[in-house]
Amino acid sequence: MKTPPLVNPGPALSAQQARRYSRQIVIPQIQASGQERIRNAKVLCIGAGGLGSPALMYLAAAGVGTIGIVDFDTVDETNLHRQVLYGQSDIGKKKVDVAKSKIEESNPLVSVTTYPVRVNPSNVLEIMAGYDIVIDATDNFATRYLINDAAVLLNKPYVWGSVNRFDGQAAVFWSSLGPCYRCLHPEPPAPGTVQNCADAGVLGVLCASIASIQVNEVIKAITGIGELQIGKLMIYEALEAEHSKIDIHKNPLCVICGENPTQVSLLENYESFCGVASAPEISVEDLKKKFAANDDFILIDVREPDEFASSRIPGSVLIPKAHFFDATALDLLPRDKEIILHCRSGVRSAHCLAIIQGAGFMNSRHLGGGILAWEKQ
């Protein structure tokens, strides 16, 4: 879809800017006026992981004047094969702090604002309001629906991306000109039916491929060049090296962007909407107390064997998540003691907890924040 430029040109480029971006300025469709639009643009990237890392570097390299970074996490060794902003010495540091430093080293002409928080219904509108366009580089459905709903309410365009093993997807959502994410996925999948990167794995270089598509669409939106891929689901299958597109139509019955929307504000709890909020948790502090008191409980690690071999909480027992979904784990669980599940961050363990509680194991909880929280504390 041909759209007008999202950003005005503004003042002329400085001699340093003209020199730095000269290879981009000579492109007939961009020229100095297009580079001025890029310089004046404000782009927010939510997520500084597999997609966010390369996206942020290319935003900075292109000369986007103001870049916002939202991420609450710290760098983990398992990130390094795909999150190219980070190195070995960055392990344990806040991603937003490392990303800001790397971007400013790469291009001191851009301004970087960081938000070391998890976006939620109480902060997302305020954070997004000051930006022209948003990149959704997150990896969970609750946050995707939250970003979508905030973008619709603010009338902001955003570019979504997703990766899994060898397959990646990207799309541009702008509810005033086309469909929103809810038009593509009116309801979230059942908890645990879609594997995340920790479960399924992801080819590191695939993240760069999809992030490049996202940044390309951002630059097109800012400058008004080319055809913005609104209403198109772009699919890349890396093993076959095949690109394809699927049309996404605006749903007139969409609850938030349809003809008669029934949702006119953000939901109170997106985790609950996606079916993962009701899982009872135990904190790291309380788990430590249970160990110290020699309480009678069993701690089960639902990660994969290679993760368990790499790091574990002392005293934990490995039962991978797949055994919960095929019900074979139920025969291994005790009925006479408390069950505590954990995974890397708490997502997988929440899904497994819902399964065992549905099977009658009500004396059960999961570790909030997973082994990441344990290792931090």
Question: For residue 339, which phi and psi values (nearest 5 degrees)?
Answer: -110, 130
Residue 243's DSSP bridge partners are 236
Q: Is 343 a catalytic residue?
A: yes
One of 197, 254, 257, 352 is an active-site residue; which one?
Answer: 197
* Cα 322 to chain centroid, rounded: 23
Alpha helices in the chain (DSSP H): 15-20, 22-25, 31-40, 52-62, 95-106, 124-129, 141-154, 181-184, 197-200, 204-223, 270-273, 284-292, 305-310, 321-325, 347-358, 370-376
338, two tokens? 């408390």
Question: Which residue's structure tokens are 């938030």?
Answer: 256
User: How buried is 78 (Cβ within 10 angstroms: 0-12 exposed, 13-18 middle, 19+ buried)?
Assistant: middle
One of 207, 257, 274, 343 is an active-site residue; which one?
Answer: 343
Alpha-carbon gap, residue 208 to 29, rounded angstroms: 24
CA-closest candidate to residue 200, choices 335, 342, 50, 38:
50
Alpha-carbon gap, residue 313 to 336, rounded angstroms: 22
16, two tokens? 């340093």
3-class SS shares of the chain: helix, strand, coil, % to 5: 40, 20, 45
Q: Is 207 a catalytic residue?
A: no
Contact 119, 147 (CB under 8 A): yes
Contact 274, 188 (CB under 8 A): yes
Residues marked active site are found at 197, 343
